[in-house]
Chains A and B, each alone.
Chain A
Amino acid sequence: MEKEFIRQVNNHIGILHKVCNSYFFKNPYWEDYFQEILIRLWRAFPNFKHQSSFSTWMYRVAINSAIDIIRKLSIQPVHTELSKNEYEIPVSFSFTESEEKNKLYSIINELNINEKAIILMYLDEFSYEDIARTIGISTSNVGVKINRIKNKLIKISNRYESK
Chain B
Amino acid sequence: MNQNSLKSIWKLAHESKAYNLNNQDYIQSIIRKSHSSGFSKIMKEIKLKIFIYSTSLLTLIGLVIYGFIYLKIELSTAIVLPFMFAGLFLIFKSSSEIVRYSILNNQMDNLPIKEAGIYFGERLAKIIKIDFIIYLALFYSMGIFFLLGLFLNIGGIKAWAISTNLSSLLFIFSFLLFITPWLIRKILNQRYKDVNLNLKNSIDYYIDEAS
A binds B: yes
Q: Interface of A with B (CB < 8 Å)?
A: 2, 5-7, 9-10, 13-14, 17-18, 29, 32-36, 38-44, 47, 60-61, 63-65, 67-68, 70-72, 74-76, 78-80, 82, 86-90, 92-93, 96, 98, 100-101, 104, 112-115, 117, 123-125, 133-138, 140-141, 143-145, 150-151, 153-154, 157-158, 161
Give residues of chain B (1-37) contacting chain A, Cβ–Cβ below 8 Å: 1-3, 6-7, 9-10, 12-14, 16, 18-19, 21-24, 26-31, 33-37
The answer to whether B42 and A74 have CB atoms under 8 Å apart is no
**Complex: A91 Cα to B120 Cα, angstroms:** 36
Q: Is B116 an interface residue (CB 8 A)?
A: yes
With contacts A36-B39, A138-B211 taken as known, whether A123 is within 8 angstroms of B7 at the C-beta atoms is: yes
B87 at the interface (CB under 8 A from A): no
Cβ-closest chain B residue relative to A83:
B37
* Partner of B116 from A14, A64, A75, A157 at Cβ < 8 Å: A64
Contact present for B113 and A136 (CB under 8 Å): yes
Q: Which 6 A-B pairs have the closest CB atoms?
A: A136-B112, A140-B210, A136-B114, A35-B36, A42-B31, A32-B38
Q: Is B166 an interface residue (CB 8 A)?
A: no
A64–B103 contact, CB under 8 A?
no
Interface pair A33/B36, CB less than 8 Å apart = yes
- Is there an interface contact between B30 and A39, defined as CB atoms closer than 8 Å? yes
- Main SS of the interface on chain B? helix
> Told that A71-B120, A96-B18 touch, could you supply 13 new A-B pairs with CB distance under 8 A?
A2-B28, A9-B27, A32-B39, A39-B30, A44-B107, A67-B117, A67-B202, A75-B195, A92-B23, A100-B12, A135-B112, A137-B206, A137-B208
| Cα distance, A161 to B31, chains bound together (Å) | 41
| A75 partner, pick from B13, B100, B115, beta carbons under 8 A | B100
Q: B109 interface residue, CB < 8 Å from A?
A: yes
Which of A33, A64, A74 sits near B111, CB closer than 8 Å? A64
Are B10 and A123 touching (Cβ within 8 A)?
yes
Q: Is the CB of A75 within 8 A of B37?
A: no
A78 with B31: CB separation less than 8 A: no
CB of A40 within 8 A of CB of B208, answer no
> Given contacts A114-B202, A150-B6, are A82 and B37 in contact (CB under 8 A)?
yes
Q: How far is the CB of A83 from chain B (nearest CB, A)?
A: 9
Decide if A134 touches B112 in the complex (CB within 8 Å): yes
**With contacts A39-B31, A76-B100 known, is A71 near B14, CB below 8 A?**
no
Is A44 within 8 A of B109, CB to CB?
A: yes
- Nearest Cβ distance between residue A24 and chain B, in whole angstroms? 12
Residue from A35, A47, A140, A143 in contact with B110 in the complex, judged by beta carbons closer than 8 Å: A47
B59 contacts the other chain (CB 8 A): no
**Residue in A33, A61, A75, A124 whose beta carbon sits within 8 Å of that of B103 in the complex:** A75
Q: Which of B164-211 contact A (CB under 8 A)?
A: 191-192, 194-195, 198-199, 201-202, 205-206, 208-211
